[in-house]
Structure 1
């Protein structure tokens, strides 16, 4: 059983799908590990560290030759995987519903595409959930990016020259990224508030020492939406939330938006008119910018200014914390494959619950139910 860890080819991608830690663990299972030279460079992992852990470090052709499993962060195009074993598994993030041509390419190449972003949010798969591990870091980094653009201090400071007021931070969307953003902003000394359409998140907000901002007169979602995500709300709720948010935004220094709906464009949370009510020098970080954006006027990969408000739309935020993001992503992949490792077969064997959820292609066909 040969596992190949490739150097990422997507522009700006600094993460890597395997680390010396996971190389050792895979080797302990009896697998042969091949790593493409330079794969860990963006995450500050030297080729020598992989070699010391027991991997064979070589060029891409040798790394792929006969590989039974290929590990990646962002799924490579199928035509770049020449030399992998027939029917080889490729475990990576595929953007399954947004890049159908890539999925078609895998079917045509006879490769088995395993989309890690579709890992079901069930208890036994928590340690395999790449979206959660990467979102956690996104929430953390969003606060640091906001602080870098803000130009003022976060905590209240009492000095002989006078008192500096604490920054007011508002987090919109209290999933994994939002909760980490709240916690990070609180650690930096900010005065934090947060909102979500799921009323069950109120207790989570309070537990982190932040103030919950919720629509009271119209019912939201009780508990979690599908897969732990929020779902779209009624027009009545959307109108009530817009009114509530508009009044709150005008008082904020920093806003971080995190709302995503799987398979659909990100919901619009902040309009241009609402931005205009914010004070000059305020900062908005749109973590959903690559999915269409929560903020009107946000630009993918850029920091722009509207009405004196700086709008941050960085691409691939986890890659901005590449070393830790790689360590967590690599552990997710190891936890996934090792959980299904069959000692007799010398390879992982997926069960239906997980396999059907993440398998996009097999035997030259597209097999995922939502892609038909």
Structure 2
């Protein structure tokens, strides 16, 4: 048996193997409500043989959407729409489902990527954004409104309410999005957080609000529900958020019963200098795992089965997440199992699909 296909318990949630489908924005919701696109998209990924399926970054408030077409979970209407999708997926797949809860902060109010992705003007589909400090992401963008304490309390409550809605829908794993330059990452980084109160300045202060959000969500859910966090290990900008600070965050999260850290990087500043290469973010996950003792999910240009096998077998990370790679190849876990001489779960309707010479690929045949 390959290490990639060994079972794993993530905070009490049993997983069949170590392959995770990362959250990937689809920009296909209507007023925050999931559509048939989400049923098709999540449905076919739920038949892939991976162990855990993340629903894309899901906004906790309308203001927190990246674009007007972002998925949301802030009302009965958005909850019911997502519930319809989950019911359809559950009818044919028992793959555990996770959700990434998010607020875009100053990176909100943008066009969808295939329409340029630039900030939408007020009155032309855009809205006023907010952030820890009134600092725009780019030079040509309008400044966000600096959050006051009452607005921060409202956002914290919105995270909790969205988590409760997700739990009510039967979603098994909750992830708080504190990466890629979105709101909680903006609080963490000294490049975007210039506050002079208890939520800015020192590392302890910059950690405060993301930790408050995490703890509020953790306390609102049953202990058996794994709650983790997605982080950017570094801003890739001198003087910004970095690994040393990420390790301090990891230790603080561990004290608050964090189930896992999903380790990415970048996204906070257009000045970032990223040296991207296959597995370039895996060392961040490895160091956080080693020094904090928390389970980690590695992501980023992981494309080959042998590469994923090595990451798990050498304990660089506990789980391997695929994003664009599994969009390109939605049966990646099948092909990985065939390459590594192992087995994977698949619906019986597909049991006769492997090409000649690949035998006993699927479990329960």
Q: Determine if the TM-score, normalized by the shorter chain, exceeds 0.5.
A: no
- TM-score, length basis structure 1: 0.28
| Higher CA-based Rg | 1
- TM-score, length basis structure 2: 0.28
